[in-house]
């Protein structure tokens, strides 16, 4: 290019707008491409193709929160679904646990601070745009709701946006509900016995475990704390509840699955049968299932069908499988130490396709 903005073939570089009188139609794309290059447009187009979308524009609903070890502490992380990009959300030398996604795309979790478990909220979207290849900053965590005299932990979020959590503020473990925007939590389980592991369902009812007379079983309560109903009486103790919404359980894909848990063919009757599937954790060995806490060696993840009262072991592998979380796809993410290191794996609702998802770190957990 020569001085004065004239190209080597003495063709002037025109403004961004094309003047039909000065730029007659061409029969080949090359002259037009050459003019765009000289005007500086093609480099801009190429740069735009490879520019990183600011993290604040990313859909936070597609991030799955999890916990990872950081020395003697644990931090809150999130992984993109799909994609696999990981992002650290906290680094505060505290113990973090039990993350859950809120409807407004923030994450509520439990944090142990000054000897107490408190509920906090963090926005996984960065506070400002970042440069390419730069780790985005994270907004500071804020207190969601906490009692200075008790422990609040184990939060989960219902489809209506209620935050359900466990607290010992009444002297024993009970389940409370908090509506976003309000400062007072309501007690859902005032009855005797310890109540834990809340699992909200799509119909507004909440499954939970209740320890009564040495037996920890699954109960069901209305969303307002009204009617309560015992669901299981298995003869052994269960923990770590979560629910499979209607439509998340695929039809059996092997004959032995249909035999283990008989059900109707796919269709309306089939969906009604599987509408209230309960996922829980218990010991794989029947002789070890009488312990109250349902912890220790050789834990597995089970699926219980209230319609048939049948139980299916989904993992059935030596080691400890715990903390199941149902993903939007219907797969169940869970924590396992079957390979010697605590990792996060996934499994389908029939116990198939078990595979590692978040691994390669010293210790991770879904909850």
108, 105, 111: which is closest to 75 by C-alpha? 111
d(CA 134, CA 54): 10
Does residue 215 fall inside a structural domain? no
For residues 65 and 179, state if they share a domain.
Answer: yes
148 HSE (CA, 13 A, CB side): 0
Residues in the chain: 367
Does residue 214 fall inside a structural domain? no
For residues 108 and 34, state if they share a domain.
Answer: no
pLDDT at 354 over 80: yes
For residues 255 and 297, state if they share a domain.
Answer: yes
For residues 64 and 41, state if they share a domain.
Answer: no
Q: How confident is the model over 71-87, as pLDDT tens digits?
A: 999 999 998 887 678 88
Show which of 126, 154, 187 is a domain's final residue: 187
Percentage, residues of the chain above pLDDT 70: 65
Task: Give how many domains the chain has, as a whole number.
Answer: 3
For residues 249 and 162, state if they share a domain.
Answer: no
For residues 33 and 20, state if they share a domain.
Answer: yes
Banded model confidence at residue 46, pLDDT cuts 50, 70, 90 = very low
pLDDT at 246 over 50: yes
Residue 302, Cβ density class (10 Å: 0-12 exposed, 13-18 middle, ≥19 buried): buried
Cα(first)–Cα(last) distance of the chain, in Å?
A: 62
Q: What is this structure's pTM?
A: 0.75
Q: What CATH number has the domain bearing residue 117?
A: 2.120.10.30
Q: How confident is the model over 105-145, as pLDDT tens digits?
A: 889 999 998 788 999 998 887 666 556 666 666 666 766 66
For residues 247 and 346, state if they share a domain.
Answer: yes
Banded model confidence at residue 331, pLDDT cuts 50, 70, 90 = very high
For residues 156 and 104, state if they share a domain.
Answer: yes
Does residue 121 fall inside a structural domain? yes
Q: What mean pLDDT do residues 1-28 have?
A: 37
- Residue 316 contacts by C-beta under 8 Å, 6 or more apart in sequence? 284, 300, 351
> Which range of residues forms the domain containing residue 34?
14-51
- Cα–Cα distances in angstroms (integers) from residue 63 to residues 66, 76, 99, 105, 139, in the given order: 10, 12, 12, 9, 16
């Amino acid at each position: 290019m020569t001085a004065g903005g004239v190209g080597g073939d003495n063709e002037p570089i025109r403004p961004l707008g094309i003047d039909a009188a000065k730029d007659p139609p061409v029969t080949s794309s090359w002259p037009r491409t050459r003019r765009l290059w000289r005007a500086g447009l093609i480099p801009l187009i190429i740069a735009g193709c490879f520019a990183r979308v600011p993290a604040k524009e990313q859909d936070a609903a597609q991030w799955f929160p999890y916990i990872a070890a950081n020395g003697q502490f644990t931090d809150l992380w999130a992984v993109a679904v799909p994609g696999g990009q990981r992002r650290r959300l906290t680094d505060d030398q505290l113990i973090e646990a039990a993350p859950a996604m809120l409807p407004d795309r923030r994450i509520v979790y439990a944090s142990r601070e000054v000897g107490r478990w408190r509920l906090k909220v963090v926005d996984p979207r960065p506070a400002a745009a970042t440069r390419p290849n730069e780790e985005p900053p994270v907004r500071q965590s804020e207190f969601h709701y906490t009692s200075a005299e008790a422990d609040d932990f184990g939060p989960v979020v219902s489809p209506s946006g209620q935050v359900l959590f466990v607290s010992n503020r009444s002297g024993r473990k009970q389940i409370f509900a908090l509506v976003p925007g309000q400062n007072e939590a309501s007690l859902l389980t005032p009855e005797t016995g310890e109540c834990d592991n809340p699992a909200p369902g799509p119909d507004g009812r909440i499954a939970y475990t209740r320890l009564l007379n040495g037996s920890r079983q699954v109960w069901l309560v209305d969303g307002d704390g009204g009617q309560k109903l015992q669901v299981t009486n298995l003869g052994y103790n269960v923990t770590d509840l979560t629910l499979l919404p209607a439509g998340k359980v695929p039809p059996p894909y092997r004959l032995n699955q249909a035999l283990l848990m008989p059900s109707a063919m796919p269709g309306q009757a089939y969906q009604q049968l599987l509408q209230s599937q309960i996922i829980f954790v218990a010991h794989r060995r029947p002789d070890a299932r009488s312990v109250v806490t349902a912890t220790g060696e050789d834990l597995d993840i089970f699926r219980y069908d209230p319609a048939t009262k049948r139980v299916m072991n989904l993992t059935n592998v030596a080691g400890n499988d715990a903390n199941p979380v149902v993903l939007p796809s219907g797969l169940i993410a869970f924590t396992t130490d079957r390979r010697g290191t605590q990792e996060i794996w996934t499994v389908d609702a029939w116990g198939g396709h078990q595979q590692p998802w978040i691994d390669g770190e010293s210790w991770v957990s879904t909850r």
